[in-house]
Amino acid sequence: MTLPAAAAGSSTARAPLEVSHVGKVFGRRRALVDVSATMRPGEITAILGPNGAGKSTLLSIVATLSAATSGTVSWGEVELRRNSPHRASLGYVGHEPGLYLDLPALDNLLFFASLYGVVDAPARSRALLDRVGLGDVPSDAPVRTFSRGMMQRLGLARAILHRPSILLFDEPSAALDPAGVTWLATELAHERAAGRVVVLVTHDLDAAAALAEHIVILRRGRVVRDERRESAWGAAALRAAYDESCRG
Amino acid sequence: MAEGVPAEGPAGDEPSPAPPAVVPGFLSQTVRIAAKDLSIEWKSREILFTSGFLAVVVVLVFSFAFVVGGTPPPSTVVAGILWVAILLSGVVGLGRAFDRERDGEAVRALLLAPISRTAIFFGKLSATVALMLTVEVPVTILVDVFFNARLAGHAGRIALFLGLGTIGFATVGSVFSAALLRSKSRDVLLSTLLYPIVVPLLIAGARGTAQVLDVAPDLDAATFWTQFMAVVDVAFLVVGLWAFEPVITGE
């Protein structure tokens, strides 16, 4: 089976990601209410909000891991539903690295490369290990023995292994030390420059301020602010926007 | 950077010029999932050692209890011992079946990959069946030796019983193990949920094995229990396929 055209490279690969009137209900609780936003390629979108605002739920829906109760997520001509084959165009980095801890780094990448049908898997995997600074890690060392930062680096390598057009990050810096956070910021900027749609869910306003041109602030499942600027927001402007949106 | 790899960077790592990926077919996906599990187990031998050790202990304890003065117990008891050993050791293996997906949230990455959920199910199931059978072979030989059970004379039928029982047991176990992926009490819950459901297989396996091992084997009855187990396996597989996707995705 060949991947959908959008994943392999077509006009859709440069299309924005459109979240349109998305709602999500868990039992009697409405986690998301009529959420709409457009995330453009070559731009970092930061989804912000207090705990329980629905940020991770929204990201899970965009990642096709969860189904929206209402509304749609579309990317170019294709609709991204739960289990959509177009999920091959997504890369996801979460709190946890999404790796098999008993396998070495290279084996992890080769396994996922085989599932995605990456044609140059061995070379691509080794190149990515070099890129994320794990090229000199002993080849037989299981991921379980890695530090948290090393796992996150490998998690990023796993997420971009298949050259996705959309990259989703859910609190990726939560367990990183300052050096790791700096490294991650560089990688995010790199992915933006590569023309990917980059969506970042975070509590870290400073990181979002330094990187994101587009912010979507959620509060109690609703979008209370959706604003973009020509360049990154800057700490003071973002803090003011966040406080204003989340007040009350 | 390795030769032949597109240069990383704004120009070289863009999504559009990526080589067209060809997602492996269903069978290939299944084999890759199973091979990954078996590869991990080959390195750690964690499941094999723990479940194998438990099975051997069960057989040893029963041998001390039932072999009195060198006289082996009746075939019904020997069959029961064999199946209890398999059941207890199998739960240990099944309890660990999805641990590797849970640790590090590998399951999320697996679900994001463009592969069939059914392939994940069959891949996990195949690996579990392979591991259980690997434990069952020496345990069966041990039962034969300790209880003078004449298993070798009916190797084909015994293998059929064990194969059918293992497939059914692993099918239900894989679904429950996936369902309990995010549960903190999964070890306790797995046994509690699994045993009542696999009782028909246990009864059929024990009765069928006993019929074969009897001094005067009743092969017609053994055939009936074989067919019964096959029907139960099909039912378990159908329900397992239907239930697996919702439980693994948690929706």
Residue among A13, A119, A144 minimizing CB distance to B19: A119
- Which pLDDT belongs to residue B249? 82
pLDDT band at residue B49 under the 50/70/90 scheme: very high
- Which pLDDT belongs to residue A10? 53
- Which pLDDT belongs to residue B148? 85
Q: pLDDT, tens digit, for every residue of B54-89?
A: 999 999 999 989 888 878 888 899 999 999 999 999
- Which pLDDT belongs to residue A95? 84
Q: pLDDT, tens digit, for every residue of A122-178?
A: 999 999 999 999 999 998 999 999 998 899 999 999 999 999 999 999 988 777 778
Q: Can you give the residue range of the structural domain that contains A59?
A: 5-246
Cα–Cα distance for residue pair B247/B170, rounded to 1 Å: 16
> Min CA distance, B99 vs chain A (Å)?
10
Q: Which chain A positions have a beta carbon within 8 Å of B32's beta carbon?
A: 111, 114-115
Cα–Cα distance for residue pair A110/A114, rounded to 1 Å: 6
Beta-carbon separation of A111 and B36 below 8 A: yes
Cα–Cα distance for residue pair B179/B149, rounded to 1 Å: 38
Cα–Cα distance for residue pair A183/A187, rounded to 1 Å: 6
Q: Which chain B positions have a beta carbon within 8 Å of A85's beta carbon?
A: 114
A14-23, A124-133, B66-75, B216-225: segment of lowest average pLDDT: B66-75
The reply to whether B19 falls in a domain is no
Cα–Cα distance for residue pair B78/B90, rounded to 1 Å: 18
Residue B14 pLDDT greater than 50, yes or no? no
Beta-carbon separation of A117 and B23 below 8 A: yes
Q: Which chain B positions have a beta carbon within 8 Å of A111's beta carbon?
A: 32, 36
pLDDT band at residue B2 under the 50/70/90 scheme: very low
The reply to whether B61 falls in a domain is yes
The reply to whether B1 falls in a domain is no
Residue B7 pLDDT greater than 80, yes or no? no
Q: Can you give the residue range of the structural domain that contains B178?
A: 27-35+45-249
What's the burial of A26, exposed, middle or buried (CB within 10 Å: 0-12/13-18/19+)? Answer: exposed
Residue B21 pLDDT greater than 70, yes or no? no
DSSP notation for A172-186: TTTT--HHHHHHHHH
User: Among all residues of chain A, which has the CA nearest to that of B35?
Assistant: A111
Residue A7 pLDDT greater than 70, yes or no? no
pLDDT band at residue A110 under the 50/70/90 scheme: very high
The reply to whether B193 falls in a domain is yes
Across the range B109-125, mean pLDDT stands at: 93
- Which pLDDT belongs to residue A172? 83
Residue among A117, A123, A162 minimizing CB distance to B2: A123
Beta-carbon separation of A115 and B115 below 8 A: yes
Residue B228 pLDDT greater than 60, yes or no? yes
pLDDT higher for A66 or B97?
Answer: A66
The reply to whether B15 falls in a domain is no
Beta-carbon separation of A127 and B8 below 8 A: yes
Q: Which chain B positions have a beta carbon within 8 Å of A193's beta carbon?
A: 9-10
CB-based contact B237:B171 (threshold 8 Å): yes
Query: Domain total for chain B?
Result: 1
Element (DSSP H or E) covering residue A168: strand A166-170
CB-based contact A230:A214 (threshold 8 Å): no
DSSP notation for B173-196: HHHHHHHTTT-TTHHHHHHHHHHH
Beta-carbon separation of A9 and B18 below 8 A: yes
Beta-carbon separation of A65 and B111 below 8 A: yes
Interface of B with A (CB under 8 A): 1-5, 8-10, 13-25, 29, 32, 36, 39-40, 43-44, 100, 103-106, 108-115, 117, 245, 249, 251
- Which pLDDT belongs to residue A112? 96
pLDDT band at residue B15 under the 50/70/90 scheme: very low
CA neighbor of A108 nearest in space, from A159, A180, A149, A148: A159
The dihedral of CA A167, A170, A175, A176: what is its sign? positive
Beta-carbon separation of B1 and A116 below 8 A: no
A13 to chain B, any CB pair closer than 8 A? The answer is yes
Element (DSSP H or E) covering residue A167: strand A166-170
ipTM of the complex: 0.86
Beta-carbon separation of B106 and A99 below 8 A: yes
Beta-carbon separation of B21 and A92 below 8 A: no
Cα–Cα distance for residue pair B19/A2, rounded to 1 Å: 11
Across the range B108-119, mean pLDDT stands at: 92
- Which pLDDT belongs to residue B1? 33
**What is the SS3 assignment for B215?**
coil
Cα–Cα distance for residue pair A72/A58, rounded to 1 Å: 11
pLDDT band at residue B140 under the 50/70/90 scheme: very high
pLDDT higher for A79 or B23?
Answer: A79
Beta-carbon separation of B21 and A3 below 8 A: yes
Beta-carbon separation of A130 and B1 below 8 A: yes
pLDDT band at residue A48 under the 50/70/90 scheme: very high
- Which pLDDT belongs to residue A13? 64
A163 to chain B, any CB pair closer than 8 A? The answer is yes
> Min CA distance, A98 vs chain B (Å)?
4
Sheet of A43-48, strands arranged across: A90-93, A166-170, A197-201, A43-48, A214-219, A222-228
The dihedral of CA B100, B104, B108, B110: what is its sign? negative
Structure tokens at A2: 């060949």
Backbone φ and ψ of A176, nearest 5°:
-95, 150
**Percent of chain B whose predicted confidence (pLDDT) is above 90:** 59
Structure tokens at A139: 């080849």
Residue B34 pLDDT greater than 90, yes or no? yes
Query: Domain total for chain A?
Result: 1
pLDDT higher for B148 or B137?
Answer: B137
**Percent of chain A whose predicted confidence (pLDDT) is above 70:** 94
Task: Specify the CATH number for the domain of residue A102.
Answer: 3.40.50.300
Q: Please give the angle made by the CA atoms of B182, B199 and B220, to the nearest 5 degrees.
A: 140
CA neighbor of A129 nearest in space, from A90, A99, A172: A99
CA neighbor of A101 nearest in space, from A161, A159, A148, A65: A148
CB-based contact B97:B132 (threshold 8 Å): no
The chain-wide mean pLDDT, for chain B, equals 87
pLDDT band at residue A226 under the 50/70/90 scheme: very high
